[in-house]
Amino acid sequence: MEDCIFCRIVAGEIPADVVHTTERTVAFRDQNPQAPLHVLVIPKEHHANAADLATADPAASAELVRTAAAVATAEGYDDHRLVFNSGAEAGQTVFHTHLHLLAGRPMTWPPG
C-alpha cells in the first residue's frame, strides 16, 4: 500500500524511532504520546485492522502482543495497557493494524 504511512515506515521510506523489530513486526515510539511509554507495534504486512490480521495471519497477531510485552519489559514496565482501535469511530486514523502499548502512568477505566 504505497499511500500507507506505516507501510512506508516498514519499507524505510519514512523515519521512525524504532525500538524493536522481529521477523513480522516493527515497534516504534508514537509521535503524539499519551503516556510516558507509548509505542505502536505493527505487522510488517499490511492489514487494515486487528480482526483482518487475526483472520489472515493469527501468528502475526500473537506476535504483536509478544513484541509489546518485550518492549514493556525492556523499558522497565511490568504494568501496561494494550489497545487496538478498529474503525474510524473507535479512533483508528491509520488503517494499518497497530497495537498501542501504553505504560508509565495510571490508566483509568473506562477509557475516554
Query: Which fold does the domain 5-103 belong to in CATH?
Result: HIT family, subunit A (3.30.428)
Q: Is the pLDDT of residue 100 over 80?
A: yes
Distance CA 76, CA 32 (A): 21
- Given a contact cutoff of 8 angstroms between Cβ atoms, the answer to whether 58 and 77 are in contact is no
From the candidates 47, 80, 98, 100, which is the catalytic residue? 98
98 is catalytic: yes
Distance CA 16, CA 64 (A): 18
Q: How many C-beta atoms lie closer than 10 Å to residue 82's C-beta? A: 15
Place of cell 505502536: 40
Per-residue pLDDT reduced to its tens digit, 16-72: 999 999 999 999 999 999 999 999 999 999 999 999 999 999 999 999 999 999 999
Distance CA 82, CA 103 (A): 9
| Residue 1 pLDDT grade (very low, low, confident, very high; cuts 50, 70, 90) | low
